[in-house]
Amino acid sequence: MFTDFLYVCREKGLKISMTEWITYMEALDKGLAYSSLEGLYNLGRMILVKTESDFDKFDIAFIEYFKDIHYGEELPADIMKFLDKGEMDRDNLNADVYKFDTERDMQETKRMFRERITEQKEEHNGGNYWIGTSGGSAFGHHGRNPGGLRVSGQTGMRSAFQVMGERKYADFRHDKTLDIRQFQVAFRRLRQFSTKLDVPRTELDLDKTIDSTCNNGGYLKLEFDKPRKNSVKLLLLFDCGGTMLPFSELCNDLFQAVHKANHFKDVKTYYFHNCIYSKVYKDAECEMGNWVDLDYIFKHTDKDYKVIIVGDAQMAPEELFDLNGNYRGPNDGRSGYEWNKLFRNKFKKAIWLNPRFHGGLTSLSWMESEATLAEIYDMFPLTVDGLKAGIKKLMAPR
């Protein structure tokens, strides 16, 4: 029966060999977990997890298997934001907020929790219904409810079914959605594609210096290389508004990382809404008339530019395929699909970074648009691994 835990771990993305699993079983057989759940967890993480980027996956798998709770989507960011504010003064709360049903079972509580997530639109504290703090609600933290789900914060009565939102190792994941620091680190990889000048070797090559020093018995041996000249030219296009609103901060981080980087000879930035049509906008407001013709970009931006498009590709099929699909501006005689094909033919080195990438699923109408655009562009998820793979594709010789 315990073997099921192996399959849960693999389902969450952990690559566990049979040798590692057998080692784990042998360690348990020798009593190295000391008959405690905490010992079982620490022993498993030590043997089964190879890198800190997988700690979060192991945490999710462990909670799901041993707590009989299936881990689903993360809480909406707006709910987590107000929960992080901490507790409120409970001295003046009406005693009625602490009236709750002690007979409710776990499954019913989880069902109610999912309902609250879809219904809740604003912050709530000191109550007994919504996800909040300091009251008698079954959902939140710093409250009182013996049959609830603690969400973030510190435990109070220590009787919650489940602790959600702690995930201390989420930032270590390679598939985590990026922040500005991770963008900057990823873009540093572009430096290796900069052109080396035909000048003397005056730039310290740290990697070669380390190798040579090790091979020299530990005596320092400096190695130098020719300095590089930033030769990468980048054309950056952002999808703005609508379904991209939840990712506006993420897009801003990427924008800031690009413009703070010194890896580019030139950077041009434009904006669009849902789909690239005959015109792209000069700023993120995407206001009528404040645009640039795509034909102008074709004529004044040479084909050597590398292109990064950022968008979720979520749109109705008619927005992509109909000649009049652009409801915010002109199509100029072509569908969005045709304009994107023209764009791709002009810029051979182009990738699409998608914060909601579904990898070719077409079960919903807007997924058909994503799948179609993924056939035109090389599309990658907007994660650490996705950006690395995208840059590698972008900078490949062919």
Specify the pLDDT at position 362.
59
What is the pLDDT confidence band of residue 10, given thresholds at 50, 70 and 90?
Answer: very high
Question: Distance between CA 340 and CA 345 in Å, rounded?
Answer: 9
Contacts for 147 with CB less than 8 Å, ≥ 6 apart: 100, 101, 102, 104, 105, 106, 109, 138, 159, 161
For residues 209-216, average pLDDT: 93
Q: Please identify which residue in the block is written with the tokens 């699409």.
A: 352
**353 — pLDDT class (breaks 50, 70, 90):** very high
Asked if residue 172 lies in contact with residue 55, where contact means CB atoms within 8 angstroms, the answer is: yes
**pTM (2 d.p.):** 0.54
pLDDT band at 161 (very low <50, low <70, confident <90, very high): very low
| Residue 247 confidence (pLDDT) | 82
214 — pLDDT class (breaks 50, 70, 90): very high
Does the CA dihedral 11-14-16-20 come out positive or negative?
negative
pLDDT over 80 (residue 280): yes
Q: For the chain, give the mean pLDDT.
A: 76
Residue 160 has pLDDT above 50, yes or no: no
What are 71's two structure tokens? 């881990």
Report d(CA 88, CA 86) in Å as an integer.
Answer: 7
Could you give the CA distance from residue 269 to residue 284 in angstroms, rounded to a whole number? 10
pLDDT, tens digit, 9 for 90 and up, residues 298-338: 999 998 899 999 999 988 899 999 998 888 888 899 999 99
The answer to whether the CB of 292 falls within 8 A of the CB of 298 is no
Alpha carbons 356 and 359: distance in angstroms, whole number: 9
- Range name among 23-37, 116-130, 350-364 with the lowest pLDDT average: 116-130
pLDDT category, 388, cuts 50, 70, 90? confident
pLDDT at position 63 = 82
Task: For residue 131, give both structure tokens.
Answer: 């996800």
Query: Would you place residue 370 in the very low, low, confident or very high pLDDT band (cuts 50, 70, 90)?
Result: very high
Does 157 score more than 80 pLDDT?
A: no
Q: Check the CA dihedral 184-186-187-190 and report its sign.
A: positive
HSE (CB half, 13 Å, CA atoms) of 53? 10
Highest averaged pLDDT of the listed ranges 183-187, 272-276, 325-329 = 272-276
| Rounded Cα–Cα distance for residues 44 and 24 (Å) | 7
What is the average per-residue pLDDT within 284-307? 92
Element (H, E) at 281: strand 279-281
For residue range 90-101, list pLDDT tens digits in order. Answer: 555 455 544 545
| Six token digits for residue 193 | 């594609």
What whole-number percentage of the chain has pLDDT above 70? 64
pLDDT for 56: 83
Give residue 97's pLDDT. 45
Mean pLDDT of 227-253: 82
